[in-house]
Structure 1
Amino acid sequence: MRRCYLVCYDIRDPKRLRRTHKLMKAYGEAWQYSVFYCTLKPIDRVRMENALREVVNLNVDQVLIVDLGSNEEAAREAATILGEALPEQDTGIVVI
């Protein structure tokens, strides 16, 4: 079963920051530059964490992963946005 996560990070080195951002784009949608919303299967969460451990410096960087639960709609509605709205949700449907 997929669960929703909010992943936030504070990376001190610009090169690691770019690598972390590129990595996270494969797992979720950017809500801000260092904040991602992800809907992941348990195995994908493990893969994401392992990949993050390879990119970040655990002595000086920080990654916060918040489990928002299994209900995607409720997880999105739990967010309060001040300022510019979040990007439209990608439905994953492609029409050719």
Structure 2
Amino acid sequence: MQKSYLICYDIRDAKRLSRVHKVVIHYGVPLQFSVYYSLLEQHTLTEMVEKLIAIINDKEDDIRIYPIQGTTLENWPKPGFSGSDKYLLIN
């Protein structure tokens, strides 16, 4: 079953930042710089986390993944929504 997550990171090194971005963009939709929305199965979340752990320096970098309860995009776009990107707004 897919669940919604908010993924946020603060990476101190530019090279690691680029590598982390390349991983997270594969799994999520950017909301702001270093903040992403993602709809993932548990095994996919685990896969992403393992890739991120291999990249970061745990003494300098910070990655946080927050589960979002009761939020889904399966009913987007809602009636009256005029945007073309269903990820523009999250209920």
Q: Same fold (TM over 0.5)?
A: yes
User: Residue 59 of structure 1: CA displacement?
Assistant: 1.1
Deviation at 1:55, TM superposition (A): 1.1
Q: Which runs of 4+ in 1 moved over 2 A?
A: 87-90
CA-based RMSD of the aligned residues comes to 1.6
Aligned identity (percent) is: 35
Q: TM-score, normalised by structure 1?
A: 0.74
Q: Which amino acid aligns with 1:62?
A: D
> What is the DSSP-based 3-state SS (H/G/I as helix, E as strand, rest coil) of the residue aligned with 2:58?
coil
Contact preservation (8 Å) 1:21, 1:33? no
Q: List alignment gaps of at least 5 residues for structure 1.
A: 74-86, 91-96
Secondary structure of the equivalent of 2:36?
strand
Give the TM-score normalised by structure 2: 0.78
Aligned length: 77
What displacement does 1:71 show?
Answer: 3.6
Offset of residue 69 of structure 1 = 2.5
1:43-84 superposed Cα distances (whole Å, 9 cap, x missing partner): 0010011011011111110001100025414xxxxxxxxxxx
Contact 1:2 1:70 in 2 (8 A): no
Counterpart amino acid of residue 86 in structure 2: Q
Gaps of 5+ in 2: 74-83
